[in-house]
Amino acid sequence: MPTPRVHLPTAIPGWDALRAELEVPGEFPPEVLAEAHAVTPVMPQTDRTDVPFLTIDPPGSTDLDQAMALSRTAAGYQVLYAIADVAAFVTPGGAIDAEAHRRGETLYAPDRRSPLHPAVLSEDRASLLPDQIRPALVWELLLDGEGELTSTHVARAKVRSRRKLAYPEVQSDIDAGTATPDLLLLKEIGLKRLAIARARGAVDLPSLEQVVGADGTLSYRAPLASEQWNAQISLLTGMAAAQVMLAGGVGLLRTLPTPPQDAVDSLRRSAMALGVSWKHDESYGDVLSSLDPTVPANAALLTLATRLLRGAGYTAFDGTPPTRTEHSAVAAPYAHATAPLRRLADRYVGEVCVALSAERPVPDWVRRALPRLPAEMAGADQRAHELDRAVVDLAEALLLQHRVGETFQGVVVEANHRGGTVQISHPAVRGKLDTEDPPLGQDVQVRVTEADPVSRQVRFTLA
């Protein structure tokens, strides 16, 4: 599920201090780099380099986890989804493996990222770059005419991507009517999978980008439709992986409990503050899935809605099926399986599914690691959330740093006897309200008392 990306003016100092504060990993140790440069990948015997795979990513991306080839069948559709085979480069217990377990996932800040694997692997030798033969896990997913999954198989193979595309050019070609047949199928399948997700009760939260301009303005970049269609292929694969592992009795699920009512109530009050319509009988999923993210108030609410994803975790199992299997936002069992260059868990999910598909035992090194992965990934997720939150806090402090003393209209969205949280609408900022027992859910006039980019604090008091 998405987290907001924040773009800030490049001249802002303090990124290194922020990374140190949050213990964001820096350069790779020499032994990790040496192993990454020296490793010879294990290449599969199966050759699928004849398949016309293509990649679709943000412009300029070089860490390419996924390549797809879509075709129509007599019964519906075939989705071939090649996922970078990181395990082909990583020795269990080796230096790269140990460092990946320490990091857990790639972390993103506005100035640079902290990758899970050294760039020589993640952006070069293991990446599914065009016209390069690479080891991959190839998922063969068969769908019926409505887009429902009917068959799943995954196996190792050599692949060669033919085209490296970016979302804007894919969208432009589709809109102009000049897209190739496989890209038209991406739209067709994507729309059908979106309809299935809505009928299932899934919550669609687009990956918004929050942009703070050098002039102190706030805007949002909404995802292109091509990004949503592409995301549906990844979600489909994650759901298929969960089915394979649950049937085989071993694996690692991504789970999310239903959000607590007080979190939903707080989001409803934020909607009121932002002027977003939310009828009494509408569920949060219905409201969020219907919002046009190009409207700034809607984009702000969708960014706040990521708070409902708190409680997401990983559930490992081996022999006994887990009690909780569902991811509430996906509204189905789900697993992270499609981004092994950027997320540790995906490598293990891929290994489990390849073994189960071939009706072979899951490797011992995978089974030994499964019990500790939920805690390792929880630590990595917490660090990622802390970094995301710190960047958002910094963005909000920058927006108001020259407006201390000004008053704004807002709504109290959280309250207790010590104070609370207020949501103002223009700009869409949340901050601490230093007033005892503030009137929860009510319109208020508030004054900015602090907006400090150094401490990343924004505070208000009732005007």
In a domain, 275, yes or no: no
The answer to whether residues 453 and 374 belong to one domain is no
Inform me whether the pLDDT recorded for 1 exceeds 80. no
The answer to whether residues 391 and 417 belong to one domain is no
| Number of H-type helices and E-type strands within the chain | 13, 19
> pLDDT, tens digit, for every residue of 215-241?
556 666 778 899 999 999 999 999 999
Q: Can you list the positions of beta strands (E) in 367-416?
A: 407-416
Burial class (CB in 10 A: 0-12, 13-18, 19+), 23: exposed
Question: Average pLDDT of the chain?
Answer: 91
> pLDDT, tens digit, for every residue of 3-40?
556 666 655 666 778 888 888 999 999 999 999 999 99
> pLDDT, tens digit, for every residue of 123-154?
999 999 999 999 999 999 999 999 999 999 99
Domain that holds residue 447: 407-462
Cα separation, 404 vs 408, whole angstroms:
11
The lowest-confidence range among 262-266, 339-343, 394-398 is 394-398
Nearest to 121, CA basis, from 153, 139, 99: 99
The answer to whether residues 379 and 448 belong to one domain is no
In a domain, 69, yes or no: yes
In a domain, 282, yes or no: no
The answer to whether residues 417 and 375 belong to one domain is no
Instruction: To the nearest 10°, report the CA torsion of 384, 385, 391, 396.
Output: 170
- Domain count within the chain: 2
Tokens of residue 129, six digits: 């770059």
In a domain, 304, yes or no: no
Predicted local distance difference test score (pLDDT) of residue 314: 97
- pLDDT level of residue 214 (50, 70, 90 thresholds): low
- Neighbouring CB atoms inside 10 A of 67's CB total 29
The answer to whether residues 443 and 364 belong to one domain is no
Inform me whether the pLDDT recorded for 430 exceeds 90. no
Tokens of residue 438, six digits: 């503030």
Q: Read off the amino acid at residue 346.
A: D
> pLDDT, tens digit, for every residue of 162-208?
999 999 999 999 999 999 999 999 999 999 999 999 899 898 777 66
430 backbone dihedrals φ, ψ, rounded to 5°: -105, 145
The answer to whether residues 151 and 33 belong to one domain is yes
pLDDT higher at 303 or 398: 398
